[in-house]
Amino acid sequence: DHESLPPPLAGEGRGGGRWHLALKFEGYAREVQAAKDQAVRFVREAGGIVQEAEIPSAFWDAARDWSTPADDEVVLRAIVPLAASPLLMAAVPPDARVLAQPASGVVDVRVPAPSAAATLSRLRTAAGAEGQVVVVAAPVALKQGLDVWGPPPPGFPIMRALKQALDPNGILNPGRFVGGI
């Protein structure tokens, strides 16, 4: 949320074609400095601008709680190979807000509830067979009409066998996970 950002970042974002990367390093001072130096080098080599600013804890709190949307929003989470990230980002609609973890290929997309189904479909197409897009949070009425988990992953037969072994009577959360297990 813009209120949590330091002044150089407030009011800017995807709409203007600019992105911001906020990094937080923790650990021993020497390791933190080495990681910071490497990140700065990567950003500059990629043509980015480095602005060092003290980022208030409210920003990190907002990032942590970002997957809890307002009542009229839906949060979708895409997990894709790093090489697929640009294609996925191109599928994000302009009315969406994004919180990405680029090093892990995890991208959370917050969209208005009315556009959730269409956005979910677009993101799943962009993620391809190697990626996955799931519904993290949505109003209950809308969630019931969405395929929350998407197509079962390649390891699904193993998941089903494990579920059967641990819950032979099918009484633990029946039908609430991927593939209806």
pTM for this prediction? 0.69
CB 66 within 8 A of CB 110: yes
**b/e string for 111-138 if b means 16 or more Cβ within 10 A?**
bbbeebbebbebbbebbeeebbbbbbeb
5 pLDDT higher than 50? no
- The rounded mean pLDDT for the chain is 83
Q: What is the pLDDT of residues 25-62, one digit of tens each?
A: 889 999 999 988 998 888 888 888 888 878 888 888 87
Q: Does residue 7 carry a pLDDT above 90? A: no
Task: pLDDT band for 22, please (50, 70, 90 cuts).
Answer: confident
pLDDT score, position 103: 73
C-alpha angle 111-112-115 in degrees, rounded to nearest 5 = 85
Give me the pLDDT at residue 85, please: 84
Q: Helices marked H in 83-155 — which ranges?
A: 85-90, 116-127, 140-143
Q: Kindly state the tokens that stand for 161.
A: 């066998």
Which 3 state secondary structure label does DSSP give 84?
Answer: helix
- The percent of residues in the chain predicted with pLDDT above 90, rounded, is 35
67-150: in CATH 3.30.70.240: yes
Q: pLDDT at position 125, please?
A: 95
| Domain segments of the chain as ranges | 2-60, 67-150
Q: Nearest 5 degrees, angle CA 173-CA 76-CA 149?
A: 35
